[in-house]
Chains A and B, each alone.
Chain A
């Protein structure tokens, strides 16, 4: 997995690509989220547009990051889910847990207040 970040207003956007899978892929996601929190960014938007695969470890890491951010008083949301990644979240009903957006401006706006 490759990951980079952008800051738009006070929202930290994590642009992920490739495979979020056991081993290196899931660890990289955690690193990016921890880095964001360390920088005082508690509004985190994870952009999954270029993610091709996510396995159960990657899903577990997404959930762990979500709960970590929430515990720290922040919010973590998802955007641009490719159809297969959407299916994977749907199967385990995590689609009901995450706040998910198709439009980045709308996603950023949702953090306000």
Chain B
């Protein structure tokens, strides 16, 4: 049976810790520590993007986090109330001209840490990012 958790956050960076804590409460002991580490890093990047680029740190706007875990997969969704964005327009941070840029690596890392990443428009017109990690085995 799947375990689920939801969270609605205000747009402040310290709330990234709350999202991560919820993931740990849901998944610790049920997935390997290695899987949990990288999933948590992806979740942190997604929530940070929602707060910074989506909601532009507007305290009136919220970030919605949904987590779901079953025996095969960990699914996470992060939605903001921003203007939406086109993930196809992101540059490759590994290109020589981008290597020394200070930003532009978040989505690249998310894609690297997770097995599947999907961007869409959320209910409020903001960005919704859905992250999936396939589970290889239970925690030892």
Stretch at the interface among B79-87, B94-102, B124-132: B94-102
Let me know if A38 is at the binding interface, CB within 8 A.
Answer: no
User: Known contacts being A55-B41, A93-B94, is A22 close to B52, with CB within 8 Å?
Assistant: yes
Stretch at the interface among B1-9, B66-74, B106-114, B115-123: B106-114
Q: Complex formed: what's the CA distance from A59 to B99 in Å?
A: 11
Whether B37 contacts A63 by the Cβ 8 Å rule is no
Write out the residue numbers on chain B whose beta carbons fall within 8 Å of the beta carbon of A96.
99
Binary contact track B33-62/A, C-beta < 8 Å → 1, others 0: 000010001001100100010000000000
Secondary structure of the B contact surface, majority rule? helix
Whether A92 contacts B16 by the Cβ 8 Å rule is no
User: Known contacts being A21-B16, A53-B41, A57-B48, is A63 close to B102, with CB within 8 Å?
Assistant: yes
Tally the A-B contacts, defined by beta carbons under 8 Å: 58
Interface size class of A (residues with CB under 8 A): 20 to 34
Let me know if B25 is at the binding interface, CB within 8 A.
Answer: no
Write out the residue numbers on chain B whose beta carbons fall within 8 Å of the beta carbon of A1.
none
Write out the residue numbers on chain A whose beta carbons fall within 8 Å of the beta carbon of B37.
84
Q: Complex formed: what's the CA distance from A88 to B41 in Å?
A: 10
Whether A56 contacts B94 by the Cβ 8 Å rule is no
Whether B13 contacts A56 by the Cβ 8 Å rule is no
Q: Complex formed: what's the CA distance from A111 to B99 in Å?
A: 23
Write out the residue numbers on chain A whose beta carbons fall within 8 Å of the beta carbon of B13.
22-24
Let me know if A113 is at the binding interface, CB within 8 A.
Answer: no
Write out the residue numbers on chain B whose beta carbons fall within 8 Å of the beta carbon of A56.
45, 48, 103, 105-106, 108-109
Q: Complex formed: what's the CA distance from A105 to B28 in Å?
A: 39
Write out the residue numbers on chain B whose beta carbons fall within 8 Å of the beta carbon of A57.
48, 103, 106
Q: Complex formed: what's the CA distance from A61 to B100 in Å?
A: 10
Can you report 13 residue pairs joining A to B where beta carbons are below 8 Å apart?
A21-B44, A22-B44, A55-B109, A56-B103, A56-B105, A57-B48, A66-B100, A84-B37, A88-B109, A92-B93, A92-B94, A92-B105, A92-B109
